[in-house]
Structure 1
Amino acid sequence: MNWNLLIQLLINGIIIGTLYGVVAMCFVLIYKSTRVVNFAQGEFLLIGAWTCWALLVKFELPFYIGFPLTLAFMLVFGILLQVVVLRPLIGEPIISVIMVTIGLSMFFQSLMGMLFGGFARPFPTVFETASVNVLGLQIQTAYIMSLVISVVIMIGFYYFFKHSRTGLAMRATAFNQQVAQSLGIPVRHVFAAAWAISAMVSALAGVVVGMVNGVSSALSFFGIKVFPAVILGGLDSIIGSIVGGLTIGILENLAEFFDAQWLHIGNMYTIAPFYALVIILMIKPYGFFGTKDIERI
């Protein structure tokens, strides 16, 4: 057994798992405040990555300027998306809003393809050293940056929902919009804040993945890969999204290792999380930390 490869893949799994956890928290953020599952989440990563790429390549801005500008753009983008497209749907059946997010996913993917083409573009060099030697293992510098930022974001999300007034307002709005309005909570502002934060944080993940793998339409598939992490952790649990993200990140890298060493099936890296999703949901239908819905007649 190649122990060095196994340890390398486990570390990669933990690092990419924290990134999955961050994007999963964006799913949870929107769901907790609006009860809507956003199927355009992967496109937020794609738009953020292409925006940062354009600022660095087309406008030749340094990364320390282009990256904050990208986050600011995505913050405004999320607000405008909610105000222009989604706000008129407040009060409509949830399935209608979900179908709109699916339509947005197709629209944004086509728009990015029209603007930037269908081929992958390498991200400009951001760090002087592409990888760092940690205990004899080579780890991408971008992944180390993402690990640090992801941990900070996770702590920030936990504090945001547990202690901040806006986070508590989001939880109240998700529980019952009419009751929240009667208590003076500005529901429309809550919705806009949820989509803005989700777009901005997703863009951060898109930039990190783009730095490692290049920017292409394949980035939008990242949202689908994260969905098992959301379901495993529980659709309304911040802690669950972190655990689910780490679980999926480690599982897919372990699947790649065992496939390369013994199974030789191919593509196990992609499909292993979905197998795990089916098996775990058969045991725990609400995920690891999901809230059980009990209805009495």
Structure 2
Amino acid sequence: MNWDFLLQLLVNGAIVGTLYGVVAMCFVLIYKSTKIVNFAQGEFLLIGAWVCWALLVEFQLPFWLGFLVTLLFMFIFGVLLQVVVLRPMIGEPILSVIMLTIGLSIVFQSTLAWIFGEWTKRFPEVFSVDSVNVLGLQVQTAYLMSLVFALVIMVGFYYFFQYSRMGLAMRATAFDQQVAASLGISIKHVFALAWAISAMVSAMAGVVIGMVNGVSSALSFFGIKVFPAAILGGLDSIVGAVVGGLIIGLLENAAQFVDSTWLNWGNLYEIVPFYVLVIILMIKPYGLFGTKDIERI
């Protein structure tokens, strides 16, 4: 058995798992605030990656500036999306809003394919070296950057929800919207901020993945892959999103090792998260850290 190969895959899985956790937190953030599952989450990654690519290639901006402009653009985009498209749906059946997010997903994919084409496009050279040696293991420089960003975002989320006024307002809104409104909290502002943060953080993940794999419409599938991580951890738990992301990242790469060593199926890496999703829904529908919704008649 090739233990070095397994260790390399598990390290990569842990790093990618932190990225999964960050995107899963975006699922949780919107769900906790609005009780909506955003099935256009993957398209947020795709939009962010394409915007950053265009800024670097078409406008020749340096990476750090293009990256910051991309995050600012996605923040504004998230606010406008919630205000213009989603706010009129407040009070409508949840299923209708979920179907709207699915429709947005299709519209975004089609529009981006029309603008940028169907072919995968590579980011320009950002780092002087593609990978670095960490304790004898080769790790992609972009993944190391994503690890740092992911840890910063996780710490930022913790302090935001624990100590900031808007973070406390979002927690109150997630607990009970009517009570939060009675306390003078603007529910509309909370909703808009939730979508803005979700879009901005997802764009960060999209840029990192685009730097490694290139940018194409396939990038939007990343959002669907992360959904099992959110379900595994609990769709209303920020901590659960992080843990679920790490578990899914490790399981994916462990499955790749098993597949390449013994099974040779060729697609186990892609389908393992959905096996996990089905098993978790059967055994623990609320996830590892999710809150059970007990209704009494």
Structure 1 length normalisation: TM-score?
Answer: 0.98
Counterpart in 2 of 1:120? 120
Distance across 2 between alignment mates of 1:200 and 1:172: 22
Other-structure match for 2:160: 160
Letter matched to residue 119 of structure 1: W
Shift of 1:229: 0.1
What amino acid maps onto 2:129 in structure 1?
Answer: T
* 1:138 counterpart SS class: strand
Count residues in correspondence: 297
Q: Distance in 2 between matches of 1:159 and 1:291?
A: 22
Partner of 1:20: 20
Partner of 1:72, secondary structure, is helix
Query: Which residue number in structure 1 is paired with residue 151 of structure 2?
Result: 151
In structure 1, the partner of 2:266 is 266
Which residue of the partner structure matches residue 187 of structure 1? 187
Q: What letter matches 2:115 in structure 1?
A: L
For 1:122, the aligned partner's letter is: R
Amino acid across the alignment from 2:118: G
Post-superposition CA distance 1:79-101 (Å, at most 9, x none)? 00001001111111111111111
Tell me the distance in 1 between the aligned counterparts of 2:123 and 2:291: 40
Letter of the aligned partner of 2:195 in structure 1? W
CA RMSD, aligned part only? 0.9
The offset of 1:265, in angstroms, is 1.5
Tell me by how many angstroms 1:179 deviates: 2.0
Question: Where does residue 200 of structure 2 map in the other structure?
Answer: 200
**Percent identity among equivalent residues?**
75
Task: Please state how far the C-alpha of 1:263 moved relative to its aligned partner.
Answer: 1.1
Amino acid at match of 2:204: L
Aligned-partner residue type, residue 294 of structure 2: I
CA distance in 1: counterparts of 2:274 and 2:203, whole angstroms: 24
Deviation digits for residues 108-158 of structure 1, max 9, x if unmatched?
000000000001001111001110011221110000000011011111112
Q: TM-score, normalised by structure 2?
A: 0.98
Aligned to 1:294: 294
Moved more, 161-170 or 106-115: 161-170
* 2:214 corresponding residue in structure 1: 214
Deviations 1:190-211 (CA, angstroms, capped at 9, x unpaired): 0010000000000000000000
Equivalence for 2:249: 249
Note the C-alpha offset of 1:261.
0.4
Alignment of 1:5-154 (within 5 A): 5-154=5-154
Alpha-carbon shift at residue 175 of structure 1 (Å): 2.5
**Which residue does the alignment assign to 2:177?**
177
List alignment gaps of at least 5 residues for structure 1: none
1:278-289 to structure 2, matched below 5 A, reads 278-289=278-289
Letter paired with 2:290: G
Q: Distance in 2 between matches of 1:88 and 1:178?
A: 18
Task: Map Cα deviations across residues 245-266 of structure 1 (whole Å, 9 max, x no partner).
Answer: 0000000100000010011122
1:168-199 CA distances to partner (integer Å, 9 max, x unpaired)?
21122122222211110011000010000000
